[in-house]
Structure 1
Amino acid sequence: MSVTPITSPLLAPLPHGFLGRAGGVSTGIHAGLNVGFGSDDDRAAIVENRRRAVAAVLPGAALVTVHQVHSAEAVAVTAPFPDEARPHADALVTDRPGLLLGILTADCVPILFADRDAGVVGAAHAGWKGAFGGVVAATVAAMAGLGARAERITAAVGPCIGRASYEVDDGFLRRFCMDDAENERFFLDGQREGHHQFDIEAYVAHRLAEAGVTRAELVGLDTYADEARFFSYRRATHRGEPGYGRQISLIGMATGA
């Protein structure tokens, strides 16, 4: 089975894609295209999976990732980081062709950004903490620092945990509603008393609009529900599995484009 990126017409013709499990060499609970060095998968398999991911989106590009920490930090990239020296951040932006920005997820929300006129692209990892803390606005601001403009930026929100799969408690709901009472619209009553279903995809779309990004596509795929296609941290946790894989989302610009 080949690596099959999910793409968005809003980002075309730039090389980009949200990748799932298909096309990788990992086995066992990490079976497929696991790219997470933080997993306990075989490192050689992870390296090969990363190579296949790059080849599927922008062959010959230099992959750039960060050490993700659920923050609102965005960094501008001019060259790849050594694996052991990756900055702690959750978003990357660049105006350099030949670099392929990568974000890893396993239920959190991957977002890819582009201002084609300015020649600036970005990628963000938005778990609930990062989304709540402002990683979307930080990414847009970092892109603006390279010449992008929010009103020209297009974005695609990739596969993430869906509302039907994302149960949270009253304390979680209160945190969001204390920040903005209108955030209640992103929650539905859960099946258990004192619990709610959180639509993180819609919340991220709201944060994009707040940051001035008015053209965004939501892929609408639930990583928890589709085991054959995606890794899921929450699914692995509910099953008591000892680990889980990570998928990657990529965007870059071809040299000479």
Structure 2
Amino acid sequence: MTQINNITPGKSNIQRRIAYVLAMSFGLIAVVCQATPALQESQNMTSTSIASELLSVRQQAILPIAAFAAVGDLPRLNTALNQGLDTGLSVSDAREVLVQLYAYAGFPRSLNALGELMKVLDARKQRGIQDIQGQAPSHSIPTGEALLIAGTANQTKLVGSPVKGPVFYFAPAIDEYLKTHLFGDIFERDNLDWQSRELATMGMLASLQGVEPQLQAHMRISLNVGITAKQLRQAVQVLEDRVDADTAMRARNALEHLLAAMPGH
């Protein structure tokens, strides 16, 4: 108290000002420290949002693999498989894509592509590369009537409604094969997610001539399974950059035709 009383009025005013400035400074520091986590969280959310609007490098790698396999271009398939495995595609991922190929390009192309994958894996092993093996399906695949039921349910969920049409009444066998073999045997194998399977289908169909209706249908299914229109446009660009202009053109035309009929896209 004695010291305070001995302070001259001029010094007292100066010290008050200094104390005020210091208090304000500490207050601002406290506000900044409290705001920083919120700012960081906002930045993280923005980064996550941006990332979610893009295809992953793994998803992008599936497109050229599927396209080259469908047309039987084994040298370029070899390169695409190596690039995909280098970016984190598992052996199981690649194998599932090439097994699925039989439903869209036939058994010969599927068998040849699987043989090429085996060559790639053997060569990489000799170079000392340990590739990620991936997973097996989490459950056994149904058979008989249960497979038809499961396939029908998968098809309905993917398309968004039960699939009917004159061709299926005219040829009931093709309807059963679609439900049991494609949407049953293949889409029941959950070690490759449905988004990846649809990207693979897109790559396969875009590389083939004369299947534009099916390509457009699978563009719509891609939207149904959560792939965005922006991601589909990115997929078209991947086909342009890594496959060829004709493949990209077919994919782009199918996508734009679909989106033109869908308000908001």
TM-score normalized by the length of structure 1: 0.32
TM-score, normalization by structure 2: 0.31
Normalized per residue, the structure richer in strand is: 1
